[in-house]
Every structure is written in structure tokens, then in C-alpha cells.
Chain A
Amino acid sequence: KNEVEQSPQNLTAQEGEFITINCSYSVGISALHWLQQHPGGGIVSLFMLSSGKKKHGRLIATINIQEKHSSLHITASHPRDSAVYICAVYTGTASKLTFGTGTRLQVTL
């Protein structure tokens, strides 16, 4: 069993829909990253969070350390949001991340 599980693995939504991607982890962590990878490979860090909630534009990330769960929400989704979204956690050793296998999101017109 992976230490970091994401759901769903694949997600198709229509433009304007509210999207939620979930990340559950089985180990104690100090912080968590949400990353976005567009076709072609480039990866961008969207958020790093260790508690509560962060918002950036239409993106909202939440984390519940006790329940070992984080969610990434996209409001008013747009085709340019189509990408793979990856959750990654710090499991103790400084700077070493453990990654989920990603959620592939396709937003259609």
C-alpha cells in the first residue's frame, strides 16, 4: 500500500464545475505539497501547507493533520486547469518528499 493515496485517479469535469481532489496518507507528516503537472512535464508547486487552509485564486487547499487527509478544490473550473495534480508529503527527513501517483483532471467545454 502506498503511503500517499490520491483519489480519484482520473477526473473529467465540465467547465464551471467545482472540483475536489483528495489525498490521504498513512504516516505522520510535518507538511504537504500540492503540485500541478501540465502535459509536457513541467511541475509547479501550488501550495505547501502544514495546517488549516490556503487559497490562491480559484484554488483552495485544506489539510487535517489528525485525520491524515488533504483536499485540493478548484472553483469555476476551466479547460486550462486540465493537468495532473500531485500530492506530496514530508515524512520526517528534511526535504524528502513522498509522492502520490497523481490525479489526472480533464476539464471540457
Chain B
Amino acid sequence: DVKVTQSSRYLVKRTGEKVFLECVQDMDHENMFWYRQDPGLGLRLIYFSYDVKMKEKGDIPEGYSVSREKKERFSLILESASTNQTSMYLCASSLWDREGDYGYTFGSGTRLTVV
């Protein structure tokens, strides 16, 4: 089974801190994604990557950056954490087929609280 592992389950950070959220997948998937999930808004795509060192902005990239130096690892960076970035963050990975993503797998999420 594909495993997508997020480094922390719960995280509390102070306003202004630089925050790193790490995600590792073990099945050689090309695509990796970072989402945030908020009540009433559903899942929203922050950034995704379809190859090493490649990244694409999603729907809400402001205040975030990403890094993909190795195929298996995709990091989300909050340059200067703010309270409106308090959320559940979910990482996912997939293989792309012309019909869609196969093996779409989510990590268990990181609940980030910024105080």
C-alpha cells in the first residue's frame, strides 16, 4: 500500500514563526499536493508538484511556498505564520493517467494552530 506520511499530527506555532510541514510518500508517485481544509470551505489546493523541483500554484498559494528536492518528499513552508493559517493541512500523492489520478492517497493530516 502507498503510504503518505506527514511529519506532525498536531502543531502549535506562534505568529511570525517560519513553519515547515513535511510530507513523504513511498510509492514513487510523480504528483504531490498540499491542501488545507477548513469548515464550510472544503479542501483547497495550495500547491502541487508533478516532478522534482517543479511546482505549480494552486488556488490559495499566498503566504505559502513549497520545496521538492527529492521525488518522495514535498515540503510546505509558511514563511511567517499568521492566525488565518490555522487549519488542517493535508498532503496527497498520485500517478497521473489521461483519465485522471490513480492511486490518489492522502496523508493523515497536520492540524496547525497559530497563536
Name A's B-contacting residues (CB within 8 A).
30-31, 33, 35, 40-45, 48, 50, 86, 88, 90, 94-97, 99-102
Contacts and interface: CB of A to CB of B under 8 A. Distances in A.
Chain B interface bracket (under 10, 10 to 19, 20 to 34, 35 or more) = 20 to 34
Nearest to B103: A45
Given A30-B99, A41-B88, A50-B100, A97 B106 contact: no
Overall SS of chain B's interface: strand
B52 interface: no
Contacts of B108: 40-42
Which 7 pairs across A and B sit closest by C-beta, in order of nearness? A31-B100, A41-B109, A43-B106, A101-B42, A99-B43, A45-B104, A99-B42
Contacts, number: 58
A7 B110 CA distance: 28
Interface in B33-60: 33, 40-45, 48, 50, 58
Contacts of B48: 95-96
B88 A48 contact: no
B41 A41 contact: no
B42 A30 contact: no
B111 interface: yes
25 contacts: A31-B99, A31-B100, A33-B100, A33-B101, A33-B104, A41-B88, A41-B108, A42-B106, A42-B108, A42-B109, A43-B92, A45-B105, A48-B100, A48-B102, A86-B42, A88-B43, A90-B100, A94-B50, A94-B96, A95-B31, A95-B101, A96-B45, A97-B43, A97-B101, A102-B42
Contacts of B81: none
